[in-house]
Amino acid sequence: MLAVMNYPPHLGLCTRACAPGISDAPLPSEDEEAPDEEEGGSNEAGADAAAEEEPGDGAESGSFTDEKPPKSPASLYSRNDAPVQLVLSIDTIGQGRCFNSSDILWAKSWAAKVKANVEALECRMFEDEAALIPSLRGSEVTDLVAKVTEGEETAVAEALALLEPGTPEAEKDRVTKTIQYRIKTKAVEAVGDLVSLMGELNLAPPVAVLDVLERVLLLVGKDRADLCDSRGTLDWVAKMRMVVSTELVPAISAFNAEDPASAVRAGEAKEAVESMDAESVKASNVPALVLLEWMSSAITEAEDAAAAAAAAEAAAIAAAEQAAAEAAEAAEAAEAAEAAAATAEEEGEED
């Protein structure tokens, strides 16, 4: 027998980033219509009705509570609309008989109690994480990033002052972008603890932040298989958050913009990164905004490095071709001189 438990829309097992359930996405504005509290009510009513039925002889009491789960913390979490189902499989365990009506009533009551307690447990877990969410959005992290980046203009000016007079503008621009890239890397390292904190949360981040994390992980060399389940869906709990927590910041620190593979990945990421809304990301998560800014700078750095490498290769090829041409001309000249000498010698013998 299968007992199906339907979660209300505001709760649910958040096993994947795209799964329904609680999300730390910003709450809808007052102009937006709030989700209906009775949405999915038919499923909820069925489960509650089962809990109110008198259990049969096989029912047990005391193991679970009949309390309704506490409401989700509305100040931090918004609801998704789709209900979630958890299915319990129940068997008579070798008794060789079907379920009677008393057994069915007991199963319904048990499933309803499991549902209520799983919801309560999940809600408590997310309420524990709720205290950590503001640290990703508050002024403290913004001030930290500003402190790291405040010397950017001075560093650029000092680097440009070291260049020889008459340095081309293209070279000055390249030096400026390189300094900016290094400072943005330091900014990521400064908020590294908060980036790791994101990966420690069971609660998947908002879609805008999730897009940033996915793209930055791909840029530093992670494969989609490291982030997705077998269906190709981003798997926050089982895969992605572990990579974010332990591997992302070290990978950014070790990123080599001069690696040809980095240029390829930068080209793949450029369009997606340019289309991201920095304001939406910042409203949800300041460290994610730091990652987005680093990505933009890293893509530019990788592209410039690839262009410089291509230009150097083209110059080397041109130099080699020039040397070959000069060698051919010298050989021709030598042959002509030798031929002229031979002709002069023959004419002398005739005289």
Report the percent of the chain where pLDDT is more than 70: 75
| Mean pLDDT confidence for 231-236 | 86
Q: Which CATH number fits domain 134-308: 1.20.920, 2.40.50, 1.10.357, 3.40.50?
A: 1.20.920
Selection from 261, 255, 351 nearest residue 294 by Cα: 255
pLDDT over 70 at 51, yes or no: no
> From its phi and psi, is residue 235 left (phi > 0), alpha (psi between -120 and 50) or beta?
beta
Backbone angles phi, psi at 248, to 5 degrees: -65, -55
According to the model, what pLDDT value does residue 128 have? 80
According to the model, what pLDDT value does residue 65 have? 44
- pLDDT category of residue 83 using cuts at 50, 70 and 90: low
- pLDDT category of residue 337 using cuts at 50, 70 and 90: confident
According to the model, what pLDDT value does residue 312 have? 85
- pLDDT category of residue 223 using cuts at 50, 70 and 90: very high
Output the pTM of the full model: 0.64
CA distance 272 to 77: 27
Selection from 248, 149, 142 nearest residue 193 by Cα: 248
According to the model, what pLDDT value does residue 233 have? 86
The two structure tokens encoding residue 241 = 């958050």
Domain with CATH 1.20.920 in the chain: 134-308
Close Cβ partners of 340 (under 8 Å, ≥ 6 residues apart): none
pLDDT over 60 at 314, yes or no: yes
The model's pLDDT over 274-296, given as tens digits with 9 standing for 90+, comes to 999 998 898 888 999 999 999 99
The model's pLDDT over 293-312, given as tens digits with 9 standing for 90+, comes to 999 999 999 999 888 888 88
The two structure tokens encoding residue 106 = 């007991």
Beta bridge partners of 234: 228
| Mean pLDDT confidence for 27-33 | 46
Backbone angles phi, psi at 163, to 5 degrees: -75, 155
CA distance 225 to 229: 7
CA distance 18 to 231: 12
pLDDT over 50 at 207, yes or no: yes
Beta bridge partners of 5: 86
Selection from 187, 154, 160, 153 nearest residue 175 by Cα: 160
According to the model, what pLDDT value does residue 41 have? 39
Selection from 91, 146, 106 nearest residue 286 by Cα: 146
| Residue 207 CB burial class (10 angstroms; 0-12, 13-18, ≥19) | middle
Beta bridge partners of 78: 23
